Chain A
Amino acid sequence: MTQFIDMLLIGIGAGSIYALMAIAMVLVWRSTRVINFAQAGMALLSTYIGFELVQRTGNFWIALPLAMILGALFSALVEILLIRTLIKHSTTGPVAGIVPIIATLGLLGFIRATIGFIWGNQDIQIQPPLSKVGFKIGEDTIALSPMNLLVLLTVIGMVLILGFIFQKTSLGLSLRASAYSPEIAQLAGIRVGAIRTIGWAIAGAAGAAAGLLQTVNGTGAVSPDSLEFSLLLTFGFIAAVIGGLESLPGAVLGAVVLGLVLAVVQIYVSGTLVFIVAFALLLLVLLIRPQGFIGAKAGRRA
């Protein structure tokens, strides 16, 4: 029974961090129709900035929002400098599909190398702000520590804030309208270019939070070549796609489902199989329900 509860807790905990990454990918996809393979690199950069801020201020809870703001600024800068140029130069023909993929991949390599220049290729260590020893229920220690709990609450808080922005504010309305149909939104007086940049900025903030929380929730160690961030990218992508790629609730749902499935595999089968199971889950969803859990029927092949 405790094993089952542990599985649920581990699954939801991991899923909550994938959810932030998936949200970042969905936001970027909705605003510019680009899958940002550099999202992991941007999260990594924000994590390093967070590390610097923790060193300077000594307080994780000041560093986290600051790193998110800087992450958002960097992401907006990428949109303005790289993605706009890309759209301006956009080619038609057979290579049009690969241009954004390769550009973001190049950006990923660029960010990693730059981090290596500045901070070196050795691990850096971020101290977790809270204890990572699990709570006790009676005699048993469960797989939920104060740290896990705070990560979970932070993620839930962020998702609620994002949901509020999207559903209740005029900014959210503009974001949704631009994603639904850029031309019509433009005609209705929305400055679609600026809205795109804002979409990227929010994605940058979500990615920054995902990177920092993933790091302190895990070993606390990061390096430019960290496997953790490749996993964050892949699992975020998988979560976003099985959730439908168009919808924010879908991304959260996809991430939690992915987290739970991986937790089941990890606890009942074998830890080394999680990667291939994640791949199999992605394939399965793409083949059986290509529009994702939440998503319109059309548009997945485009």
Chain B
Amino acid sequence: MLKKHPLFGFILFGVILFLLSNRVDELRVFQGATVAIYVIAIASIILLTGYSGQVSLGHGALLAIGGYAAALSRNYWGAPVWLTFCIAVLAAALGGYLLGLAAARLSGPYLAGTTLALAIGLPSIANQFSILGGEQGLLYDIGLPPTSLGADFTQYKWYFWISALAALVTIYWLRNVMNSRYGRSWKAVRSNDVAAELAGINVGRNKVLAFTVSAGVAGLAGALLAMTISTVSPGAFPLALSFSLATGAVLSGVTTLGGVMIGAVTLVAIPEIVDTVVHRFESSEAVANNLPGLLVSTLLILTVLFVPNGPVEQMRARHEKRAKR
């Protein structure tokens, strides 16, 4: 039934998450929210990679656009929370559209380098215009959870509910998009753009469209990220965030949405595991500070060397091979 009606699967997963969130402590709930946000952001990179075979090193900048758009609309127009999320998506999609116009002409390492330059460049704009709040940034307060949820319903659980719901809806929607005419066109462009062009696909328009959709999704992730830390500032969207997201996308496998949880969970779990290990063995500060980075980058190098398509795709390929035999 799950294969035929994936919607049931998503709803079932949502119910399990809901039940789980009542059983674990605050820290886990917060980490759950972070995982959900990473899932959205990583999915947007996978979508982008789905058409160009190219990973964006500057997705942090698109998240920043979403976060700032949400905070601005909340602070200056007093927009309701759901509307700020919509504005975040639209603003980031617009940014992605403009970037996509340029990016459609680039490929190879040029796109990676250009997005990298954007990730370094964009946050500095916040220091230029006082409306963006400079280095301190802006407050982004979505308010307390509704009282109808009960008195002991915590703020973090509210964040988790919103992020998890957003993640589930986004992945379900992206899954459908990938299986639609557009998704098939993007895959065709990715595999062979000349052949795609001959088959009547407008390569340029499809690239820009994919970039726009990806950016919109990234904008949603940005708004959610801003929600969990209650502020937006240049420091909230550092280069390291862009690199983490690219890392997460590669660990998940950039050719399919199926493994999107792997990267997100790894990004959240590794610092946690290192923390436990460091406490157990009372290691020095240098170890505590650098072990997560060392583990993640080693994992990254090993992944691209040995399972460049990602673990899920690798398993599927092996499965198919066995089935053929």
* Closest chain A residue, CB of each to CB of B293: A113
A299 CA to B10 CA in the complex, in Å? Answer: 45
Total count of chain A residues near the partner, CB < 8 A:
57
Q: Mark A104-124, 1 if CB is under 8 A from B, else 0.
A: 011111101110110011000
A91-B294 contact in complex given A238-B117, A273-B124, A282-B117, C-beta closer than 8 Å: no
A110-B298 contact in complex given A101-B55, A234-B120, A276-B122, C-beta closer than 8 Å: yes
Judged by a CB distance under 8 angstroms, whether A302 is at the interface is yes
Interface of B is mostly: helix
Question: When A and B form their complex, what is the total count of cross-chain residue pairs whose Cβ atoms lie within 8 Å?
Answer: 173
Q: How far is the CB of A118 from chain B (nearest CB, A)?
A: 8
* Closest chain B residue, CB of each to CB of A101: B112
A101 CA to B114 CA in the complex, in Å? Answer: 13
Q: How far is the CB of B300 from chain A (nearest CB, A)?
A: 4
Q: Which residues of A contact B231 (CB under 8 A)?
A: none
* Closest chain B residue, CB of each to CB of A273: B128
Judged by a CB distance under 8 angstroms, whether A35 is at the interface is yes
Please choose the segment from A82-90, A128-136, A185-193, A209-217 that sits at the chain B interface, where 4 or more of its residues have CB less than 8 A away.
A82-90
A95 touches B108 (CB 8 A): no
From B52, B105, B293, contact of A287 by CB (8 A): B105
Judged by a CB distance under 8 angstroms, whether A270 is at the interface is yes
A278 touches B117 (CB 8 A): yes
From B105, B116, B127, B297, contact of A234 by CB (8 A): B116
From A98, A117, A224, A230, contact of B53 by CB (8 A): A98
A275 touches B53 (CB 8 A): no
**B residues neighboring A (CB under 8 Å):** 49, 52-55, 57, 102, 105-110, 112-114, 116-118, 120-122, 124-125, 127-128, 190-191, 239, 243, 246-247, 250, 254-255, 285-287, 289-291, 293-294, 296-298, 300-301, 303-306, 308-309
**A residues neighboring B (CB under 8 Å):** 34-35, 37, 82, 85-86, 89, 91, 93-103, 105-110, 112-114, 116-117, 120-121, 224, 230-231, 233-234, 237-238, 241, 270, 272-279, 282-283, 286-287, 290, 300-302
